[in-house]
Amino acid sequence: MPLALKDLVLKPGRDRAVRLYHPWVFSGAVQKLPKAETGDIIRIVDAEGKALGMGFFDSKSQIVARIFHFGEAVEASHSFWKEKITRALALRKELVATPETNTYRLIHAEGDGMPGVIADVYGGHTVVLQLRTQGSERLAGTLVDILKELGFERAYLKNKQYDGETSAGSIPDGFLFGEGDVAFNTLENGLQFEVNVATGQKTGFFIDQRVNRKLLGEMSAGKKVLNAFAYSGGFSVYALANGAAEVHSVDISKDAIALANKNIALNFPEANHTGIAADCFNFLKETEEQYDLICLDPPAFAKSIGAKDRAARGYKELNMKGIKKVKPGGIVFTFSCSQVIDRDLFRKIVFGAAADVHRNVRIIEQLSQPADHPINIYHPEGEYLKGLVLYVE
């Protein structure tokens, strides 16, 4: 019996992106919208009626459909979604999850063929979900059942802090199943971090910097290190774990600095570490300190295309200040997690900053997000984290 799905019809000649497996359908490509509600599963067809895929419909967004299956329609059943999640989990167990790293991203939205769904695992037992669309919200019950079947003890829904485009919000934040403390310790490469899944940034921790933290640590032995925009002190912990002589963690939030201090104490009670609650731009401008290694990992300066130019100016100013404060022969780790600032633009911004402060700068590493944040090759928008490691003469 054929599936009774409403059809979204693409304009003649506007189906190329979908045929190339791009999972977003923009409103300008649509000839006829389906008679469906936001969140409904619909079929995407070309102008001749040939089925191209299935997705979640969103009448309130420029992205009117987010495709989770390409080709002829199939039943989006419990087993359909479980197969996707089981494959995702197998990839993490192969590449990331170990007894020393029980914190990882389980589902990375389009990167795992599940648009609108983010799922991070903490402590190996607690899954924190972000369901960013009404379509993905309708999967909540199915996701709960599957996560239980896969052996996870708890799942916490956390949508309120997400500040990107979303049509979700019908389910309140809180535990979807299981109970207990929202704050607990988790492991990353054998290092301990306290995570609060209710109040922490993102889903509780910046999991996407795991590989980059390890690299910074490996370059920190014997060095005086500045971790700007430190949040919970991740880069600081790794620097100290690898023998940094001294570490300063700076963040505008007093609560963040308190958490960074706690994470340092969890791992290195006698560390030579100073937490400083201050605006990082002002700190870099006013401090007389010079550092052997500086990490610049700010929050996203641009959350929409309209903020792109302002964000570019912010990144340039920040990198100018950072490059000025590193000693000759020093290292600067610099990042952008703004999706609208692509890799090439970010590199041009850092080039401009280096040129304006008149220092010889060489790129020695180019950084991205780790294996548990896979980038769908047909969806380059999924590559949001980019970084450079600079050697400054």
Say whether 280 is catalytic: no
Chain centre to alpha carbon of residue 390: 23
CA separation for the pair 244, 246 (Å, rounded): 6
**String of b and e for 73-97 (b: at least 16 CB within 10 Å)?**
beebeeeebbebbeebbebbeeebb
Query: How would you class 240 by CB atoms within 10 Å of its CB: exposed for 0-12, middle for 13-18, buried for 19 or more?
Result: buried
Identified catalytic residue from 337, 350, 353, 385: 337
User: In Å, how far are 178, 185, 354 from 151, measured between CA atoms?
Assistant: 12, 19, 50
CA separation for the pair 382, 318 (Å, rounded): 25
Token code pair at residue 218: 């490996």
> How many CA atoms lie within 13 Å of 346's alpha carbon, on the beta-carbon side?
24
State the chain's maximal CA–CA distance in angstroms: 74
User: In Å, how far are 104, 334, 342, 374, 376 from 383, measured between CA atoms?
Assistant: 17, 16, 8, 8, 9
CA separation for the pair 328, 292 (Å, rounded): 8
Write the DSSP assignment of 259-312 as a string of letters: HHHHHHHHH-TT--EEEEES-HHHHHHH----EEEEEE-PPPS-SSGGGHHHHH
Query: How would you class 169 by CB atoms within 10 Å of its CB: exposed for 0-12, middle for 13-18, buried for 19 or more?
Result: middle
CA separation for the pair 58, 63 (Å, rounded): 7
CA separation for the pair 259, 75 (Å, rounded): 46
Look at the alpha carbons of 388, 201, 81, 166 in this order and tell me if their dihedral is positive or negative. negative
Which of helix, strand or coil describes residue 386?
strand
Q: Which residues are catalytic?
A: 337
